Homo-oligomer: A and B are copies of this chain.
Amino acid sequence: MSASNVARESAELQSALRASAATVETMIDRLLPLPDGPEARLMEAMRYATLGGGKRMRAFLVMRTASLFVVDERCAARVGAAVEMLHAYSLVHDDLPAMDDDDLRRGKPSTHRAYDEATAILVGDALQTRAFEVLAEPETHANPEARCELVQALAQASGARGMAGGQMFDILAPSLGKLSAEDVGRLQALKTGRLIQFSAEAGAILGRAPTAQRHLLAAYGRDLGAAFQIADDILDATGTTEETGKTAGKDAAAGKATLVAVLGLERARLQAELLARQAAQHLESFGERAADLRALAAYTVARRS
C-alpha cells in the first residue's frame, strides 16, 4: 500500500472511531437517566464513570462487526453501550485502593477519588447490572434467543473464567515466581482479551451469522485483544502520564506481569505487530466491508495513547 493510502485509511479510521464514540456516548446517556430520591447520587457517579471519555474501542468493534450483517444500528449501539458499561465497571473497581490504587483515569480523578470508596464499589456493581439488563431488554434484539446469547457471552467473557479471573491471576502474579510468556499471554487473554473478543463476536450474535463467520470474528477479536494488551504495556513502559491519561510506569513499579517485562521491549513490539497482522487476515473473506476493522488492528499497535 502506498504511503498516501496508509494516511487516508488512518484518517478514515479516526473519523469512524469518532463517529461511533459519539453514537455510543449518546446511547449511554439515554440508558443511565437520573432517578428521583437521594439514591440519584449513585446514577450521577455511574454517569461520571462512563460518560465523556475513552476511544470506545469495544463499542466500535460491536458496531462495525454488526455492520457486516443486517443489524439495526440502534440495536448495535445498545450492545456497544452495554459492553462499555461493563468495561467501565471493571476500571472503577480496578482503580480502588484495595486493587491497583490508581487516582487517575482517562485524565480525570478515578471514581473513588471524585466520590468515595463506598460509592465507587456501588458504581461498579450497578454498572455491571445495567449492562446485563440492557442486553436482556426487547429493544436490543427482536429475538430473545439472541438476547440470551449476548448475556451468556458477556458473562463468560467477564466472569470468574474471564475478566474477573484474569484480575485475580494478575493480583496473584507477583507471588507466582517468574511467569513464562505463555502464562502472561493467558493472564492477559483472561483479563482484557476475552472482553475484546466478545465485542468482536457480538456483531455476529446480533446478525445471527453462520458459525464459521462468528468464529472468524472471534479469532480476529482474540488476536486483536492480545495485540492491544501488549501495545498497552509498551505505552505504559514508554509513554508519559500526559499522553495516556493514566499514571505512567505503574506496571513496572508494581512488578506487574507484562510481556514487555518477559520479552523485552523490542520482541514485545514485534509480537504485537505479528498479532495485529494475523487479526486482519482473519477478516479477508469479508472484503472491503471489513476494511476499518483491519485498519483498527494496524492502528492498535501504532497508536500513541
| Chain A interface (Cβ < 8 Å from any Cβ of B) | 35, 37-39, 41-43, 46, 89, 93, 96, 98-99, 116-119, 121-122, 124-126, 128-130, 132-133, 135-138, 143-145, 147-149, 151-152, 155-156, 158-161, 164-169, 171-173, 176, 186, 190
Contacts and interface: CB of A to CB of B under 8 A. Distances in A.
B129 A35 contact: no
Nearest to A159: B129
A169 B98 contact: no
Contacts of A136: 136, 148-149, 151-152, 155
A122 B130 CA distance: 18
Given A119-B168, A165-B42, A169-B39, A130 B147 contact: no
Provide the main secondary structure of the chain A interface: helix
A24 to B, nearest CB: 19
Contacts of A116: 98
Contacts of A35: 160-161, 165
| Copies assembled | 2
Contact of A148 (B41, B147, B166): B147
Given A46-B160, A164-B125, A118 B38 contact: no
27 contacts: A35-B161, A35-B165, A37-B165, A38-B169, A39-B166, A39-B169, A41-B172, A43-B165, A98-B121, A99-B118, A99-B121, A122-B167, A122-B168, A125-B164, A126-B159, A128-B129, A129-B158, A132-B151, A133-B151, A133-B156, A136-B136, A136-B148, A136-B149, A144-B145, A144-B148, A148-B151, A151-B151
